[in-house]
Structure 1
Amino acid sequence: MRTAKRAQNRALDDADRVIAWQAASLLLGYPDERLLERRPLLRRVASELPAAVGGPLGRILDHLDATPPPELAAEYVATFDHRKRCCLYLTYYAHGDTRERGRALLRFKTAYREAGLVLEDGELPDHLSVVLEFAATGDPETGRRLLTEHRAGLELLRLALTDAASPWGAVLEAVSATLPPLAGNDREAVFRLAAEGPPEEEVGMEPYGGPVLLPEPKIRTGAGPAVRRGARA
């Protein structure tokens, strides 16, 4: 107990961030049997992280423990499939379905390729679960940069989930705690995105398959098996 308390009170370090990103990637996944089986491990991980990160992760785990699986599944779909404001695709917030979003997606794909990872065909690279897994297991420095570049969108997603009283808002709270505090420009971007919403021009997405549902975002290494996640958007 004393060890856990000391862990909760200490400052966040780089190792904590990597662990938190991996846990958040899993917890943003569709709550299937595989995810639910990992709850004991995720609970242990959350208990060993500083409070700013481990506390929110513990809250979503409490919800997973207390809610029957069919209700969890319905709640997840209602949150992420049926609410545009709760979109898990990071580039959507800044660019909507426009040509600029296509260029932003290419930036993600290039970062994965340079780290020796390949996103499977037909999947968009900006799904938050995929980005978090990349940050945790691929290239933490580049992953953190990508997350920071989309800080305004992450904050807008966190606020949308909070406003909807969604338990998954706790996961975004944990992710936000791993990143630098919002600066002036970031705050302005959040306010602007909240007021205006993403652009609506629906062109320029053809090379990326357009806005599609991702049943299971996957990243694979050059010669290894796919790393599978249960997230859906």
Structure 2
Amino acid sequence: MLIFKAFSALLSYPSEEMRQALPEIAEVVRASPLVGAHEREKLLALIDEIGEGNLLAAEERYVDLFDRGRALSLHLFEHLHGDGRDRGTAMVELKALYAAAGFELNSSELPDYLPVVLEYLSQRDMAEARDMLADCAHIVRSIARSLIARQSSYSAVPQALLVIAGEKPVDTAGVKPVAEQPETLDRDWAERPAFADAATPGGGSTM
């Protein structure tokens, strides 16, 4: 499913090659029956933003969001386990799931990196994709909420993923905008028990 490949690209570090592919990514977004009108509008706005200015400006926007705090981390198990030992066990289980499906990691990224997960889902059927997205919806929702709080156009991707998973997207009206640094978002994230009911590794869920 090309739409998951498009989402993977949009959440990846904005290389020049990726920016050159933005028109093609936009066409995939426009054509996908999985993307509703509201989500499509937001995604196309994100695509326009990624393509704005020079490459350095796009890279700086990305780093300022995703590389400076845990609340905005795209590594899913970091939200569940932090740097604890259970994260390593979950990584092994997820990598084994990929291997069983014939999906090989061809980069230095960890298996729980959301763009990698989406690349995997682009090669699977819709039932499996929806199940896996629903399984990690609590994490995707937290990322979406943090991005909305930063008033970032990148929130369009996790919001669209929630809809595809059959979940309600985050109500933007209920999220207070913040201008603080990501460390403040990390504190807020840590204080809110958003994942108290998350499945644990070995309990029938990899997320």
Question: Is this a same-fold pair by TM over 0.5?
Answer: yes
Tell me, yes or no, if structure 1 residue 127 matches structure 2 residue 113: yes
Gaps of 5+ in 1: 1-17, 183-190, 200-233
Aligned length: 174
**Higher RCO by CA contacts (8 Å cutoff, separation 6 or greater):** 1
Gaps of 5+ in 2: 169-187, 197-207
Structure having the higher Rg: 1
Identity across aligned pairs (percent)? 27
Specify the SS of the correspondent of 1:119. coil
Tell me, yes or no, if structure 1 residue 111 matches structure 2 residue 108: no
Tell me, yes or no, if structure 1 residue 82 matches structure 2 residue 68: yes
- Residue 23 (structure 1) shift: 0.8
Q: 1:39 aligns with which of 11, 22, 25?
A: 22
Distance 1:102 1:158, change over 3 A: same
- Residue 198 (structure 1) shift: 8.1
**Going by fraction, where is strand more abundant, 1 or 2?**
1
Residue 48 of structure 1 contacts residue 54 of structure 1 at CA under 8 Å; is this kept in 2? no
Residue 93 of structure 1 contacts residue 193 of structure 1 at CA under 8 Å; is this kept in 2? no
Distance 1:153 1:194, change over 3 A: farther
Question: Which stretch of the first structure deviates more once superposed, 168-177 or 23-32?
Answer: 168-177
Deviation track 1:157-185 (CA, whole Å, cap 9, x = no partner) reads 01011111122111211222211215xxx
* Alignment RMSD: 2.5
Question: Which stretch of the first structure deviates more once superposed, 96-105 or 142-151?
Answer: 142-151
Residue 43 of structure 1 contacts residue 61 of structure 1 at CA under 8 Å; is this kept in 2? yes
Distance 1:27 1:121, change over 3 A: closer
Deviation track 1:21-59 (CA, whole Å, cap 9, x = no partner) reads 111001011111111111111111222233244223212
Structure 2 match to 1:145? 131
Question: Which stretch of the first structure deviates more once superposed, 143-152 or 171-180?
Answer: 143-152
- Residue 69 (structure 1) shift: 2.0
Structure 2 match to 1:181? 167
- Residue 138 (structure 1) shift: 4.4
Distance 1:55 1:149, change over 3 A: same
- Residue 196 (structure 1) shift: 4.3
Structure 1 length as normaliser, TM-score? 0.67
Structure 1 match to 2:192? 195
Measured in 2, the distance between the counterparts of 1:198 and 1:141 equals 24
Measured in 2, the distance between the counterparts of 1:74 and 1:90 equals 22
Structure 2 match to 1:26? 9
Tell me, yes or no, if structure 1 residue 58 matches structure 2 residue 41: no
Structure 2 length as normaliser, TM-score? 0.74
